[in-house]
Amino acid sequence: MGAILKLMCRPNWAAGTDLVARYESDFAATVLNAPVTCLAFWRARVALWTILRALGIGQGDEVVVPAYTCEMVPAAVRFTGASCRYADVAPNDFNASPETLAAALGEQTRAIVCQHTYGVGLPIDRWKQRAEQAGCALLEDCCQLVETGVAGRGITGAASFFSTQWSKPYTTGLGGMAAFTDPALCEKSREFRSAFPTEGNRGKSRSLVLQVLAYRATVRPATRAVVGKLYRWAQHLGLVRGTTTPEEYGDTIPDDYLSGATNAQAVLGMAQLTRWRQNVEHRRMLTGLYLDRLGAMGINTSALTRASQSPALWAVPLLVENKSEILQLAGRKGLPIATWFGRTPAHIHPDTAARYNYRPGQCPAAERLFAREIHLVTSPSVCPERADRAVALLRDQAIRVENREDVD
């Protein structure tokens, strides 16, 4: 709390960048546990945009992305001038596979985004082989990946991007990080970042610090759903500059889209990194608890343990037929059940899909997941007793609860 008050009292310093390099080094050493170079950004989508532009990707090029992804991933591709091609999820999985990737490749494909959905690590060597065969850059979406360095696994693609948004493995409110194995690509990305405007950093940093202060004062497991609704309402009315702005659904890149990280995010991030190991082990404990309880219900969760027999997941995904009802019940009871998709994302929605180069029905497996997905939260704020109660609610109230492994 002292760091937050200091940031509030020194707004010009909070908007500066002199601490960002130290934060980047701490991230590489703590999360990645590898000698790679990192660059911090205001949001993860800006990190992705920067990597793509540093690769020279723009008008006339194509980027393969998972269909089952955050809408801001294809939006970032679109803002480079490139087009998206979509890889459907694999059978019995929440991730795309090298096979669904191969089906999505086109003649103009320049890059492939490999997403480790819910923190389930993909067989990255197979993805890298596919990318090399296609002559494409492989980029890893690690926004939900918890165990990058802890499990001894470093990044493999030319670059990776991470999110520190509110719900991610650790949070700075808003924030993103890019990590590079290619020094030349890193330096080119740094050049792009150095050209980003800084005029609005003071106001954005102050707004972020106030939001983090309000978040810490009000968000508890029992209040998370209510506070989340109020936050989205405030965003809609323009009272706060939140995770996503209306301008990001437009045809041109917003004026304040391109922004590097500030001292505010560096201070918040470095504080979180001091607790990173405890965070990971807590998520491992809760992941194990959920998998044990779901197994006792007869639910096959083997798709979630393919990368590790003792995973630390960002969340444990499930599919239910009565999604809205379960989320409402969990919200009223303050239980750790959430959804990645409260609505159909813009790149899939029939009214806006064409803008993102998507044809409705193109990736039917992913479209089915959007409608049924919920997940059990593993964050440090969740205690085992609430986790048990969440599973009990699913056992008693969910209709056709299953993991993707059980879906034909």
pTM (predicted TM-score): 0.95
Q: 20-29, 31-40, 165-174, 342-351: which has the minimum mean pLDDT?
A: 31-40
Name residue 113's beta-bridge partners: 139
Neighbours of 298 (CB within 10 A): 9
Helices (H) and strands (E) in the chain, counts: 15, 10
CATH 3.40.640.10 in the chain, residue ranges: 1-195
Res 89 pLDDT > 80 = yes
Which of 97, 94, 143, 142 shows the shortest CA–CA distance to 316?
A: 94
Angle between helices 263-273 and 276-296 in degrees, nearest 10: 60
Cβ atoms 307, 120 nearer than 8 A: yes
Q: Determine the length of the chain.
A: 408
Q: Which is nearest to 254 in space by CA: 14, 45, 15, 16?
A: 45
How far is the C-alpha of 70 from the C-alpha of 366, rounded, in Å?
Answer: 12
In whole angstroms, give the CA distance from residue 256 to residue 34. Answer: 32
Segment 290-316, tens digit of pLDDT? 999 999 999 999 999 988 889 999 999
Closest CA to 288 of 196, 406, 394, 378: 378
Orientation angle between helical segments 263-273 and 2-9, nearest 10 degrees? 170
Residue found under tokens 């899939």: 348
Residue whose token pair is 């193109």: 362
What mean pLDDT is predicted for residues 136-163?
82
Least confident of 33-37, 250-254, 267-271: 33-37
> Tell me, what's the pLDDT at 154?
57
Predicted pLDDT of residue 157 = 83
Gap between the Cα atoms of 351 and 345, Å rounded: 11
Domain with CATH 3.90.1150.10 in the chain: 276-397
Determine the pLDDT at residue 314: 98
Six token digits for residue 159: 């670059």
Interatomic CA distance for residues 259 and 104, integer angstroms: 31
β-pairing, 137-141 with 109-115?
parallel
- C-beta atoms surrounding 73 within 10 Å: 24
For 85-109, letters b (16+ CB in 10 Å) and e give bbbbbbeebbbbbbebbeebbeeeb
Least confident of 68-77, 202-211, 376-385: 202-211
pLDDT attached to residue 275: 97
The string of DSSP letters for 111-137 reads EEEEE-GGG----HHHHHHHHHHHT-E
Residue 405 confidence (pLDDT): 44
Residue 50's nearest CA partner among 88, 79, 20 is: 79
**Mean pLDDT, to the nearest integer, of 27-52?**
95
CA dihedral angle for residue 52, residue 58, residue 60, residue 66, rounded to 10 degrees: 30
Instruction: Enter the tokens of residue 389.
Output: 């109660």
Q: What is the structure's pLDDT at 306?
A: 84
Question: Which of 10, 24, 42 has its CA nearest to residue 206?
Answer: 10
**Average pLDDT value for residue range 181-206:** 95
Residue 109 tokens read as: 């494909």
Do β-strands 373-377 and 159-163 pair in parallel, antiparallel, or remain unpaired? unpaired
CATH number of 276-397: 3.90.1150.10
Question: What is the C-alpha to C-alpha distance for residues 343 and 323, in angstroms, rounded to an integer?
Answer: 11
Mean pLDDT of 77-92: 96
pLDDT at 9: 83
Question: Alpha-carbon distance 66 to 53, whole Å?
Answer: 19
Q: Write the DSSP symbol of residue 402.
A: B
Q: 135 with 108: CB under 8 angstroms?
A: no
Query: Phi and psi at residue 127, in whole multiples of 5°?
Result: -65, -40
Of 3.90.1640.10, 3.40.50.300, 3.40.640.10, 2.170.190.11, which CATH number belongs to 1-195? 3.40.640.10
Which is it for the CA torsion 49, 187, 159, 165, positive or negative?
negative
pLDDT, the chain, mean: 92
pLDDT reported for residue 11: 86
State what percent of residues in the chain have pLDDT above 90: 77
Reported confidence tier of residue 1, pLDDT bands at 50, 70, 90: low
